[in-house]
Chains A and B, each alone.
Chain A
Amino acid sequence: MSVNVIFTGPIKAAAGEVCTTSDSETVRELVAELERRYGDEFGREAKKTKILVNGYAIQFYDFLDTKLKSGDTVDFLQNWRVMDKQRGSE
């Protein structure tokens, strides 16, 4: 089975890519797998991230124990934070 994973916001930088896939069966397994794949910084960023399965935020379902099935889309969605002093210029 394969789920699609999409990163939005600052966590993209920690992942180093916009999207990926995984065979994890729960969100908990997925987070652990991605932390192994991308490193500790990803793990830290993941704790500041909304996680949605097919658009449903997991905290309103089974939290990290939310089950995944083939074809699901998991979004790691971070709102932007003031990351650095760079802002658009005018």
Chain B
Amino acid sequence: MGRIKSLISSFIGGGGYYRRIAGGFMKRYALIDLTRRRVEDYPVADEEMLDYLGGKGLAAHILLNELPAGTNPLDEDNILVINTGVLTGTGSPTSGRFNAATKSPLTGAIGTSNSGGDFGTFLKKAGYDGIVIRGKADGPVHIDITEDGIEILDAKNLWGLTTEKAQAALGKKDAKLVIGPAGENLVRFASIHCGHRVLGRIGIGAVMGSKHLKAITVSGKKNIPIARPDRFKEVTRKWTAALRKHAITGYQLPKFGTAGNVNMCNATRTLPVRNFKAGHHEKAYQISGETMAENLLVKNVGCRFCPIRCGRWVREGGKQKKGPEYETIALMGSNLENFNIKKIVQLSEACDNLGMDTISAGCVLGFAMELAENGKLDSELRFGRTDNLVETLGDIARRRGIGDELAEGTMRMAEKHGGADYSMNVKGLEMPGYEPRRSIGMGLGYATANRGGCHLNAGYLVFFEAIGPTQIDPLVKQGKAELDVLQQNLFDAISTSGSCIFTAYAVVPSGAEEHITPYSRASAMMAKTLTSSGFLLAYQSKLPIEKLKINVPFIPYPMVIAAATGVDYSVGDFLAAGERVYNLERMFNLREGFTRDDDILPRRMTHEQQDPGNPDTKVPVEAMLPKYYKARGWDDEGVPGEAMLEKLGLAGLLPLREAVKERMGPAHRKRLETRKEQDVLARQILEERGEKK
């Protein structure tokens, strides 16, 4: 019934004329019920596809409509949406991205994860924009998707295999998604793997594992329609050229990968060291992108359709293998006081094969090390000690010994052992590799990100505050809330459309340092102007941004979308889509009982000065939140205002808003109680399967 109402409202209540899609999308979703072993079409209206551009936005819309509030994330009632954005597979730069979304078993909030690789492209070529998976199979299964349809096949022979062996065993398919032992054992930060790319975060692999779903394969040769092919070719050619000319997307990322951030973060004191106790270490250069390029690099690699090619292929242990990304280097390296780049490659490989998020795993290990140091955990894990780490990762994946505890993530570990002040997670999701006490706008972004501790969902203000070519004062509050909102909206728009967020680097022109000395008064004045413009950006929530019917060369996305779909599309439409996605995800979280009380950081970040001599080196989240909520058009409890929801065409959520407001007081407490009750399901499932050691 919810689906029918949604379809009707999208026609008569959508706030505008009907827009016909003539390309970009395949206009087909499938609903796969693993309990009943049934597959049927899942109708999605054109207006819904355009409102969200597919991707994470449409997935959030489906989850909000279909998933009852309070669903246990590991229960069969949880829904997993794997889908593509409008540009996925079209051949526009970086259009190899796709998305997965669910209710996270790690956080209980909306959980989205985005990946490169071939799956999204070939899902479309098989004829589908996305699949919606519910239920639970009675034994291990594998979903196979082709142009001829979708089958649910037995996967007993795959269960227990590492991701590498499972992908090999699946034979010749155009693309594959698999989980490893971590997902099978419901490790709360288990991941899903697509070739060498990963849907890493929020424990999405555990949701697949809870459904007994080991793999999803896809093959197809259909053409993805493009409405205006000549125009599409023209704008994508210019966009590709711009990406190749830019200092970051055309040089730094291809040459050093994301690992090129290590030295920059270290210099700016934003590199996590020793469980985020510090932001700098004299040995950091040993694990930098430059060191990796000099000593280990074989070649750089990229996702389909990507001119940036940030991936690394390295030689280690006599074999060629995937090189670690910045996040892995930071969390498995400096965060653990491990300055051995080869060991980091081994740890990255172990996480990939076992099917675990390297960010969460690194944070978990760091937390365990500090707990052990403080006598709160009986463990051999120590900062700087690396000989036992690969084995420990195996223990986590198989829930053996202390691994069973570490598999629960830092939030739950702190509930058992204490140390909450330095349990480095936000809303339960472990923090990524940017220490925010020297980048307080980034810290505010972490606190407000919908999926929890995520640098991309946060808006990545560290680029402006620390590591980018231009710089604003990283320790002043002025303007940060408003800039966070702008960036968060932009990133959500890019992500939901099926493009890579790295293309956002090129929105900021490079080469300014050729004309303005970075440490000059002119540069400082420009920085001050940007942060002072917050008072203008503060009104962005009130602006009818969707009426900004312009296009500019350095924001190419709307022009490409217009050419792909045949629908007129502008910068205003694009930013409005991002804002819509952000608010929708916020409403999901509010419905699940998250409140303003969850927009926080660990006390180490808010109450411990990173520099003992400088009281400004902590993140004043509480002081910055009111301005953030105002810039968002939310009330002082962090609930999207009625005007904001109406502006974004989300008037259908007003009754939910009212319900959320009514129970705001006790909602937070109730959510925590419910989570503790629901957590036992993981053990019940594993005991039932006889897999708990």
B252 near A49: Cβ-Cβ < 8 Å: no
Give bound CA distance, A52 to B297, whole Å: 30
B255 near A88: Cβ-Cβ < 8 Å: yes
| B-side interface size class | 35 or more
Count of chain A residues with Cβ under 8 Å from any Cβ of B?
31
Interface presence of B509 (CB below 8 A): no
Binding site for A on B (CB under 8 A): 245-248, 250-252, 254-256, 260, 263-264, 267-269, 279-280, 285, 293, 297, 299-302, 309, 438, 467-469, 471, 473-475, 510-511, 513-514, 517-521, 523-524, 527, 611
- Contact of A55 (CB < 8 Å), options: B268, B473, B513, B514: B268
B248 near A79: Cβ-Cβ < 8 Å: yes
Give the interface centre of B251, B279, B471, B510 by most chain A CB atoms within 10 Å: B251
Give bound CA distance, A64 to B465, whole Å: 20
Output the least CB separation between B38 and chain A (Å).
43
Interface presence of A37 (CB below 8 A): no
A82 near B518: Cβ-Cβ < 8 Å: no
Give bound CA distance, A66 to B297, whole Å: 39
Q: Could you list some 14 contacts between A and B, CB below 8 A?
A: A8-B264, A48-B514, A48-B518, A50-B471, A50-B518, A54-B269, A59-B518, A60-B527, A63-B524, A77-B264, A81-B247, A88-B255, A90-B299, A90-B300
A55 near B251: Cβ-Cβ < 8 Å: no
Given the interface pairs A77-B267, A80-B248, A82-B245, the reply to whether A90 lies near B523 with Cβ below 8 Å is: no
Output the least CB separation between B416 and chain A (Å).
35
Q: Which residues of the other chain, B, contact A6 by a CB distance below 8 angstroms?
A: 267
B250 near A79: Cβ-Cβ < 8 Å: no
Q: Which residues of the other chain, B, contact A80 by a CB distance below 8 angstroms?
A: 247-248, 251-252, 255-256, 260
B251 near A87: Cβ-Cβ < 8 Å: yes
A55 near B267: Cβ-Cβ < 8 Å: yes
B468 near A79: Cβ-Cβ < 8 Å: yes
Q: Which residues of the other chain, A, contact B247 by a CB distance below 8 angstroms?
A: 79-82
Given the interface pairs A57-B471, A59-B519, A88-B254, the reply to whether A79 lies near B267 with Cβ below 8 Å is: no
B513 near A79: Cβ-Cβ < 8 Å: yes
Give bound CA distance, A86 to B252, whole Å: 11
Give bound CA distance, A82 to B359, whole Å: 30
Given the interface pairs A54-B611, A81-B510, the reply to whether A90 lies near B309 with Cβ below 8 Å is: yes
Bitwise, A34-69 to B at CB < 8 A (1) or not (0) is 000000000000011111101101111001100000
B511 near A55: Cβ-Cβ < 8 Å: no
Give bound CA distance, A88 to B474, whole Å: 32
Given the interface pairs A55-B279, A59-B527, A88-B309, the reply to whether A82 lies near B250 with Cβ below 8 Å is: yes
Give bound CA distance, A7 to B521, whole Å: 22
10 closest Cβ contacts across the A-B interface? A88-B300, A55-B269, A80-B252, A75-B267, A59-B524, A48-B513, A79-B469, A50-B518, A8-B263, A82-B251
B519 near A50: Cβ-Cβ < 8 Å: yes
